[in-house]
Amino acid sequence: MRHLCFTILLLLCCGHDRGAVAQQRPNILFVLTDDQGIGDLSLHGNDSIRTPNLDALLLRSARFDRFYVSPVCAPTRASFLSGMYHPRTGAVFVTRRRENMDAGVTTIAEYLREAGYRTGLFGKWHNGATFPYHPAGQGFTEFLGFTLGHFNDYFTGRLRNERDEAVPFQGDLTRIFTDSAMHFMARDSSPFFCMLAYQAPHTPVQVTDERWNAVRPRGLTDYNTGIYAMVESVDQQIGRLVEELRRNGKLGNTIIVFSTDNGPNGDRYRQGLRGTKGQVDEGGVRVPFGIRIPGNPANGRIISTPAAHIDLLPTLLEAVGGPAPAGVDGMSLLPLLRGGNFPERYVYAFGQGYDYTGYPGSMRNDRYLYVARDSNNHELYDLLEDPGQQTDLYAETEIGPRMAATYRQFATSIGRPELVAPPIDLLAAPDTVRLLAHEGEPTGRTRFRDDYGWANDYFVDLGVDGAYWPVTAARSRQFEVVVRYHLDAPVPRSITVATDAGTRLLGSLPPARTEELPVADRVPRKEVYPRAWGEAVLGVLQIPPGTNRITIASPVQTGEETGLWVKELVLRPTGE
What torsion do the CA atoms of 15, 21, 23, 27 make, to the nearest 10 degrees?
120
Q: Answer whether residue 177 is part of any domain.
A: yes
Q: What is the mean pLDDT of residues 252-258?
A: 98
Confidence check: pLDDT of 529 > 50: yes
Length of the chain: 576
Amino acid 17: pLDDT: 38
| Cα atoms in the Cβ-side hemisphere of radius 13 Å centred on 489 | 20
pLDDT at residue 15 greater than cutoff 50: no
**Domain range holding 114?**
2-6+27-331
Cβ atoms of 458 and 547 closer than 8 Å: no
Q: Flag whether 389 is in a domain.
A: no
What is the arithmetic mean of pLDDT over 262-284? 98
pLDDT at 323: 81
pLDDT tens-digit readout, 378-428? 999 999 999 999 999 999 999 999 999 999 999 999 999 999 999 999 999
The confidence score (pLDDT) of residue 576 equals 63
- In the prediction, which pLDDT does 62 show? 98
What's the pLDDT at 9?
45
Residue 416 lies in a domain: no
Confidence grade of residue 365 (pLDDT, cut at 50, 70, 90): very high
**Range scoring the smallest mean pLDDT among 12-16, 133-137, 153-157, 531-535:** 12-16
Segment 550-574 mean pLDDT: 91
Mean pLDDT of 132-148: 98
Q: Is 472 part of any domain?
A: yes
Do 73 and 182 reside in the same domain of the chain? Answer: yes
The alpha helices in 60-157, defined as continuous H runs, are 73-82, 108-114
CATH value at residue 269: 3.40.720.10
The band of 146, judged by pLDDT with boundaries at 50, 70 and 90, is very high
* Together in a domain, 311 and 444: no
> Would you say residue 260 has pLDDT above 90?
yes
pLDDT tens-digit readout, 36-51: 999 999 999 999 999 9
Cβ partners under 8 Å of residue 541, min gap 6: 478, 479, 481, 497, 499, 503, 504, 505, 571
Are 361 and 348 contacting, i.e. CB atoms less than 8 angstroms apart? yes
Q: What is the mean pLDDT of residues 129-150?
A: 98
Q: Determine, yes or no, domain membership for 343.
A: no
pLDDT in tens, 192-211: 999 999 999 999 999 999 99
Per-residue pLDDT of 163-196, as tens digits, reads 999 999 999 999 999 999 999 999 999 999 999 9
Residue at which a domain ends, from 297, 331, 365 = 331
User: Omega before 314 cis (within 30°)?
Assistant: no
- Predicted local confidence at residue 556, as pLDDT: 87
Extended strands (E) in 188-318: 192-197, 254-260, 286-292, 302-303, 307-308
Burial degree of 561 (CB within 10 A; 0-12, 13-18, 19+) = exposed
359 inside domain: no
Write the Ramachandran bin of 161: left for phi over 0, alpha for psi from -120 to 50, otherwise beta.
Answer: beta
What single DSSP character describes residue 42? Answer: G
**Does residue 337 lie within any of the structural domains?**
no
| Neighbouring residues of 221: CB distance < 8 A, sequence distance ≥ 6 | none
Lowest mean pLDDT segment, chosen from 7-11, 41-45, 88-92, 430-434: 7-11
Q: How many domains does the chain have?
A: 2
Region of poorest pLDDT, from 15-24, 404-413, 564-573: 15-24
* % of the chain surpassing 70 pLDDT: 95
> Is residue 44 within 8 Å of residue 287, measured between CB atoms?
no
- Residue 18 has what pLDDT? 40
pLDDT value for 324:
81
Which of 331, 360, 385 terminates a domain? The answer is: 331
- Single out the residue in 331, 360, 388 at which a domain terminates: 331
- Tell me if 95 sits within 8 A of 402, measured CB to CB: no
Residue 162 and residue 37 share a domain: yes
Confidence of residue 448 (pLDDT cuts 50, 70, 90): very high
Within this chain, do residues 133 and 274 fall inside the same structural domain, yes or no? yes
Q: Give how far Cα 377 sits from Cα of 273, 398, 414, Å.
A: 20, 16, 21
% residues pLDDT > 90 (the chain): 92
Assign 3-class secondary structure to 51-67.
Answer: CHHHHHHHHCCEEEEEE
Beta bridge partners of 382: 368
Q: What pLDDT digit, counting tens, does each position of 303-356 carry?
A: 999 999 999 999 999 999 988 899 999 999 999 999 998 999 999 999 999 999
- pLDDT, residue 322, reads 83
Q: What number of other Cβ atoms are within 10 A of residue 419's Cβ?
A: 21
pLDDT at position 3 is: 52
Tell me, what CATH number does 473's domain have?
2.60.120.260
Which residues touch 23 (CB under 8 Å, ≥6 apart)? 189
Closest CA to 261 of 524, 97, 455, 30: 30
Question: Does residue 455 contact residue 148 with C-beta atoms inside 8 Å?
Answer: yes
Mean per-residue pLDDT for 118-139?
A: 98
> What are the residues whose beta carbons fall under 8 Å from the beta carbon of 554, sequence distance 6 or more?
462, 463, 464, 466, 493, 494, 495, 496, 509, 564
**Is residue 135 pLDDT above 50, yes or no?**
yes
20 domain residue, yes or no = no
